[in-house]
Structure 1
Amino acid sequence: MDEHTIEQLGMRLANRAYLQRIFHIVFGAEPSAEELATLGSPETVAQFHALAEVFRQDDLGICMESIASSAAEVLADAEKLCASLGDRADDAAYVEALKSDFTRLFLVPGEAYVHPWESPYIGKEVMLFQESTLDVRHRYAEYGFKAVEFGHFPEDHVSMMMDFLAHLSTRAFDAFGDGRDDEVRRILLSQQDFAREHLLNWLPAFRDKVHEKDTQGVYRRLADALVAFLMVDECFVEQALAEIG
C-alpha cells in the first residue's frame, strides 16, 4: 500500500470505532443532556459527514451500487439530526421528552415497545437466550470482551453488540498502527462474520418496527442510520481486506 492508502485506511478504521460507540450509546440507555452534547459534537457530525462523502466520491466502488443512493441520503440525514440534537442538549424539556420516547420504545413493554435484541427476531418464540445468544456469548469470550451492561441486558442486545464491534475496531486500529496486518485481517473477518450472523440478519426488521412505533421520529432516523452504517461498513471491510492482502 502507498502512503495515501495507509493513511486513508487508518482513518477509516478509527472512524468506524467512533461511530460504533455512538450507536452503542444511542441504543443503550435513556438519553441525557451529556449524550445529546456528544451526538451533536463536531466529532460526531464530522464522522457522519465523512461517511456520506464516501458515496459522493464512490470510494467503495461497485459493492455500493445497490445501496449507495439511499444510504447516502440516510447518513446525510443522520449528520443533520446529530447537529440538531446537540443544539437542544440544554433544553431540559426536550431531553425529558426524548427520555420518554426511549422508555416507551425500548424499556417498558407496551403498545409502542420494540425489542432491541436479536432473539425475538430470529426464533420461533419471543424469548431470551436462544442458541444464537450462546453463539454471541462465545464470540465475546473469544476476544475477552466484557461489557459494563452484562447482567442488565441480554447479550444479543443491539447496544452491547455495537460495543463489541467498537472494542474489536479499536484493536484492529492499534494492530494496523503496529504493522500487524495478520491481526487486522483476523479481526476484520471476525467482525464481518459477526455483523452478518448477528446484526444484519435482524436489524432491518428492528428498524421497520421502530418506524412503525416511533411517532416523534428521532429514533426512527437513528435506526435508519444504524442499518445504513452497517451496510456501508460491510463494504468497507471487503475493501480493507483487499488492500491489506
Structure 2
Amino acid sequence: MEEMTIPLCERAEVREMRAANDARAAFARFLASLFLYELTDDQVEAFAAVEPAGDGSTIDEGLAAIREYLRHRHGGTRQELAVDYARVFLGAGSYDRILAPPYESVFTSEERILMQDARDGAVSYYRRGGLDLPADNTTPEDHLGFELQFVAELADRANAAIAADDAGALADAVDLGRSFFVHHQANWLPAFCDAVDEFAQTDFYRAVATMTRGYVESESAFFAEIAELLDLGDAVEEVRPSWAAEGEAAS
C-alpha cells in the first residue's frame, strides 16, 4: 500500500469511507434483523414511517415499496407478515421444502441442502476475523442474517482502524470483507432474491428482496472503489476451511 504521510482520519477520501462504513454497518444489521426474526408491532409502525431517500437506488425502491404496503396496514398486518415469513423462510405449511431458505448452502450446493461447503467456508471467515457464534447456537452458520452481521462487524473494524491510524488493519478488514462478499454473498444472493420474489405472498417481503438486491449492488460498488483507494489489487483470494486447503495441497 502507498505510504500515507498524513493520519488516515484526516484524508478526505478516508473520511468518506468511514461514513460509508457507518451506513453499511447499520444497513447490514437492519437487513439481518429482517431475515433472522419476525417483525414486531413496533417494527411495523416504525417501517410505516420510513422516509425513502429518493435517490433512485434499488435500496430506496425497496423502502418505498415497504412504505406503500404498510400505508394500508390494519390490525392483522403483523400476523399476515408473520405467516409469510414462516412460510417463505421457515417452510411452514410446505411438506417437501423451504421455499426461500436464507442459507447459502442451499443455493450453492448441488444437493440444495443445509450444512454443505458454504457453511464451513463461512465459519472459516468468521474465525479469520476472530469471531465465532455462541456455543449453544443451533442455526447453521451460513444463515444470511449471520453473514450480514459479520459484514457489519468488519465495517466497524475498518472504522476502528481508521480511528487508530492503522493502515495495515484497515487494509486487512477491507480485504477480508471484499473476499467474503465475493465468495459468500454475490454468488448466491441474486438467486435467493428471485426465490423470495417467486414465493412471497406479501409485497413487504418482495420489497425486502429488492432491498437485498440493492445491498449487493452497493457492496459491489463500494469494494471496487475502496480496493482501488487502498491498492488491494484485482485478485480476491478465498479463505478456505483448513480441511479443504489441506486436500488441495495434497492433490
What TM-score does the superposition give when structure 1 sets the normalisation length?
0.78
How far 1:123 sits from its partner (Å)? 1.1
Question: Is the 2:66–2:204 contact (alpha carbons within 8 Å) kept by the matching residues of 1?
Answer: no
CA apart distance, 1:146 = 3.1
Structure 2 gaps of 5+ residues are 1-7, 232-251
Deviation for aligned residue 1:27: 0.7
**SS of corresponding position for 1:215:** coil
Task: Give the C-alpha shift of residue 80 in structure 1.
Answer: 1.8
**What displacement does 1:239 show?**
1.0
- Match runs of 1:62-73 below 5 Å: 72-73=56-57
Change (3 A) 1:100 1:122: same
Summarize the Cα distance change of 1:22–1:146 in structure 2 as closer, same or farther, 3 Å threshold.
same
Shift of 1:242: 2.3
Task: Give the structure with higher Rg (CA).
Answer: 2
Give percent identity, aligned residues only: 20
Q: Name the aligned partner's letter for residue 12 of structure 1.
A: A
- The answer as to 2:94 corresponding to 1:108 is no
Matches within 5 A, 1:74-85: 74-83=58-67
| Letter in structure 2 aligned against 1:103 | A
**C-alpha separation in 1, matches of 2:135 and 2:27:** 19
Q: What amino acid does structure 2 have at the position aligned with 1:77?
A: E
Change (3 A) 1:135 1:84: same
RMSD: 2.7
Alpha-carbon shift at residue 203 of structure 1 (Å): 1.1
Q: Tell me how far 1:23 sits from its aligned partner.
A: 0.7
1:1-245 matches, within 5 Å, as: 3-37=11-45, 39=47, 45=51, 49=53, 53=55, 72-83=56-67, 92-109=75-92, 110=94, 113-147=99-133, 151-245=137-231
Q: Tell me which protein shows more helix as a share of its residues.
A: 1
How far 1:88 moved relative to its partner?
Answer: 7.8
Count of residue correspondences:
220
What is the CA–CA distance in structure 2 between the aligned matches of 1:40 and 1:179, rounded to whole Å?
40
Partner Cα distance (1:11, 1:212) in 2: 35
> Cα–Cα, structure 1 residues 152 and 37, in superposed 2: closer, same or farther, change >3 Å?
farther
